[in-house]
Chain A
Amino acid sequence: MEYLNRLLLKGNEAVVYGALLAGCDAFYGYPITPASEVAHSSAALFPKLNRTFLQAESEISAINMVIGASAAGKRVMTGSSGLGISLKQEAVSYLAAFELPAVIVDIMRGGPGLGNISPEQSDYFQVVKGGGHGAYRCLVFTPESVQEMCDAGYHAFSLCEKYRMPGYILADGVIGQMMESVTLPEPTTYVYDPEWKITNKTNGEANYLTTIYLENDDLERRNHLLQEKYRTVQENEQSAEEFFTEDAELVLVAYGISARIARTAVSRLRQQGWKVGMLRPKMVFPFPERALKKIARSGKTRAFLCIELSPGQMIEDVKLAINCELPVHLAYRLGGNIPSVAEISEKAVAIINAKGGDRA
């Protein structure tokens, strides 16, 4: 049988295609706009491959079912939007503490509270900085297109498994809801069967997973190991795209839908002769510190401009990455509004005309 591998899909659908092609065995979730199609397409597709789809009674249950499936050595995914992610946070802390891999899709909407169902990027803190209790991190992929949603669904599992940690695919309502043409990757032939799964034995003893260490020294040792792992991730897995950064006086920093807008703004400004570029983190944990530092020290760049659908969340990581050596400006909209290309372009031109502006 001959197949096509090029489809027109929504971002929310593409991430499910990617996961299934990566061999994801189970999806547990609870409906929420604007992430609903993640559950819809999972419900339609997982059972066709004898894989598990279950609509859980709550976000809390869904993520705990993920713990169970992951502990059993299966590739497993859940998906939600900000409110649901808030509910999942306790169990995400457990996943991190158990060192269990799992993929969590967050299609961000307006907050706080019930907010609205339009796009925002204001889950950055709760997802990137560890929204649950204790000191832990998660891998965070930030796709900017439907193709990258598919790719993230496809590649997230192996990276989560490599480091035995949960990972988020952090997108927004626009990336989730829009359709684009996608080229599907080939189904994986990799057989995932981790040694540590709880049905296996180690030295003749049944495996077990726990997160409780009543002795202070035991827990401290354990936490040092986790932190060491996070440092390794930060060192080895930084990922970013650079767009016209070589000679840029001003570099825009943006992810997700903001990066798409920034890309158009940069293209238009370049046509007008302005030396602007964009750095787009493809992952925000680990944050692409090296790339930012290099740009900051290039001697050509005078300032950065963060574009966010949040009131300055990612900007903190940008400032830390460059140790505040250059001014870092912010352009943002909230409540589901998206900054226009014109708005961003004007701000960029104003910053360049002010020779980079004040040190932030």
Chain B
Amino acid sequence: MTEEHVKFGKSKVFFDTFERRPGPIKKNMHYCPGCGHGILHKLIAEAIEDQGIQDRTVIIAPVGCAVFSYYYYNCGGISVPHGRAPAVGTGLARALPDDFVISYQGDGDLAAIGLNEFLQAANRGESMSVFFVNNSTYGMTGGQMAPTTLPGQKTVTSPCGRQIENDGYPIKVCEMVNTLAAPVYIERVALTSTAKIMQARKAIRKAVANLKERKGFSLVEILSPCPVNLKMNAKTINAFIDEQMSRYFPLGCFRDEPESKVKHYAIRPVHDPESVKKVLFPPKLNIGVASDFKNQSKIFENERRIKIAGFGGQGILSLGIMLATMGKLRNFNVTWLPSYGPEQRGGSANCSVILSRNLIGSPVIDDNCNLLIAMTQVALDKFMHELKPNGVLVYDSSTMRVPTHIADSHPVFGIKALDIALGLGSLKCANSVIMGALSAILIDRYLEGADKMDFDRAFEEAIIDCFNKKPEVIKLNICAFYEGKKAVRF
């Protein structure tokens, strides 16, 4: 008996038998008679086999008749949400610099619900090849109108024929993609005759070869028959594609460039702990204190609650960050909570800072405030009631009247912060002037022992911590700080 040699058999990229397909039929595909998907599957399988990339190829199945393509291809497979194949493909392609991503999509999937994902992936020049099956109708859901349904063409959702007035014109996908800079290869083919199938075969090979060569984004649009839903036979469906569809969607190559204008480099994530630390951990500066350090002054035994308020541009939020940083550098737990959003955009700004040796509860200060720094009259009026009976008020006396109607129990200090800052040449350092004043006040009234010496150092360290790479900013703020210190009148 002579051995049989099959010259043009089933590609090895397909399974021998389709065991993943439920039911008794394991040798045939699930597609309807006359459907183009079978031919197209075969052309793609052969191209993958020819390029020798079967083991490194992932095929994304759309929602539509080809959702089950993983029954047939022995390649990595995933059936994704409707229209999202190019987005999933982006995630895959970026994660897999050594693998090859094919997105297989129908006209509803690609040109209706997923048009954005598709165009954006094309525009980024993602490393993938998209095979776009245009059969002018929705196959799986039973022959509804597609974005590629021709004007006047009847479907179950356009029973009187597609009305341009109501439904708009069919979308020409290749032409649209051809307006984008990134794609390397765009061609429209059809599956109506042997000659055209051979041309389709060439185009598909080209797109798969582009994948292997990592050229970027390729698109092949395939005009494909769906005789069952279009209620045609083999002959009339081919005539429909050749005479009507191809007139609206002309066949041909729209673009074939040697390389993409958008180059994606293989991303190989760095995970070694030393490199990770170098990026995420701050270098150890010569600041801060030993981990068992504790400030001695009595005021630090309780939680300290500070509200800073004024308008945007006065450095309100960064003054808070400065205080929080000082706290962090002296082993306190700190919280810094800004006002954010419309309030901030409307011009006013405030933040709450809490320092504590214990776990801090609410980061919101709406009562029991120990220190209010008010930089505008509005801020003072708004937040004065939050101050504790013996809470300290510091205000900017260059822009505000001397506050009246304030209980005698409050120590009150007016500092010409804006004036002093302007004198130093930058409004931005008004907050450091306030910090300087605070230093004088705290040293005079509240700090004990070594803490008296430490406050200024802690401030300088915080400035270095916040502006590590800007020596001129550090200098200006330290200068402003010492001006502020001098400006306090007891």
Contact = CB atoms under 8 A, between A and B. Distances in A.
B367 A179 contact: no
A210 B270 contact: no
B91 A69 contact: yes
A123 interface: no
Given A34-B340, A61-B84, 8 more contacts: A8-B334, A51-B269, A64-B87, A76-B95, A117-B341, A187-B276, A208-B77, A210-B77
Interface in A60-78: 60-62, 64-74, 76
Contacts of B15: 205
Interface in B91-113: 91-96, 99
B219 to A, nearest CB: 18
B334 A57 contact: no
Given A4-B282, A26-B91, A66-B91, A51 B276 contact: no
Given A34-B340, A51-B267, A214-B22, A45 B361 contact: no
B334 A116 contact: no
7 contacts: A3-B282, A17-B280, A21-B280, A57-B116, A177-B338, A180-B333, A263-B359
Interface string A185-198: 01111010000001
Interface string B276-306: 1111111111001000000000000000000
A180 B80 contact: no
Contact of B78 (A61, A209, A264): A209
Contacts of B481: none
A91 interface: yes
Contacts, number: 253
B324 interface: yes
Contacts of A26: 91, 94-95
A354 interface: no
What are the 5 A-B residue pairs with the smallest beta carbon separation, nearest first?
A68-B91, A264-B361, A208-B77, A64-B87, A3-B281
Contacts of A116: 341-342
A288 B269 CA distance: 37
Contacts of A199: 56, 58, 76, 96, 99
A317 interface: no
A78 B55 CA distance: 29
A57 B342 contact: no
Q: State the majority secondary structure of interface residues on B.
A: mixed
Contacts of A8: 321, 324-325, 328, 334, 336
A202 B363 CA distance: 52
Nearest to A200: B76
A188 B271 CA distance: 8
A232 interface: no
A32 interface: no
B329 to A, nearest CB: 9
Interface string B328-358: 1000111111101110000000000000000
A189 B272 CA distance: 7
Nearest to A201: B55
B461 interface: no
A207 B270 contact: no
A172 to B, nearest CB: 12
Given A50-B267, A64-B117, A205-B74, A3 B284 contact: yes
Residue among A54, A74, A206, A265 with most chain B CB within 10 A: A206
B337 A50 contact: no
A198 B58 CA distance: 7
Nearest to A118: B341
Interface string A164-193: 000000000110011111001011110100
A52 interface: yes
A68 B362 contact: no
B287 to A, nearest CB: 9
A5 B362 CA distance: 25
Interface stretch (A222-230, A294-302, A320-328, A337-345): A337-345
A56 interface: yes
B204 to A, nearest CB: 20
Given A26-B91, A69-B95, A72-B91, A206 B361 contact: no
A184 to B, nearest CB: 6
A47 B70 CA distance: 34
